[in-house]
Amino acid sequence: EEVALKHTDLPEPPHDVVDRVKEVVLGNEEVTEVSHCRVHYVGGEIGVEVEVEMTDTMAITDAVETAERIQLAILENVAAVDRADVHLELGSPCYRPTSSIPPANATQAASAASSSSA
């Protein structure tokens, strides 16, 4: 079975899409920064990928719910966009651990140090 590749000259996505998407995203008070915003075609539709940072007091579950609301807001308020993906930036404060449990390797090192000094 032969597969023919068809070259399609798609126009560039509208230049103001990034600005409009950022405006919608930053209109959410929990968002502190838009780290990345990419606009591209997905099968002839305009898609956006946005990476955001949230406030440092937000729990990860709340951040995920907020990201879902932002996704809907983009689709409802930026007419050119057909698909939107909103991702939480890994450096976002809401990803920081809230417990003081040390990493496993630190616990092992502390145990080894105390047993060697005994």
The tens place of each residue's pLDDT in the chain, 118 residues long, gives: 555 544 455 566 677 899 999 999 999 999 999 999 999 887 888 999 999 998 878 888 998 999 999 999 999 999 889 999 999 886 555 555 554 445 555 545 555 555 555 5
- Three-state DSSP class for 90? coil
Compute the chain's Rg from CA coordinates.
Answer: 22
Torsion of CA 71, 47, 54, 102, to 10 degrees: 110
User: Cα–Cα distance between 94 and 48 in angstroms, integer?
Assistant: 23
What pLDDT is recorded for position 8?
56
pTM of the full predicted structure?
A: 0.66
Q: Which CATH class is domain 16-97?
A: alpha beta
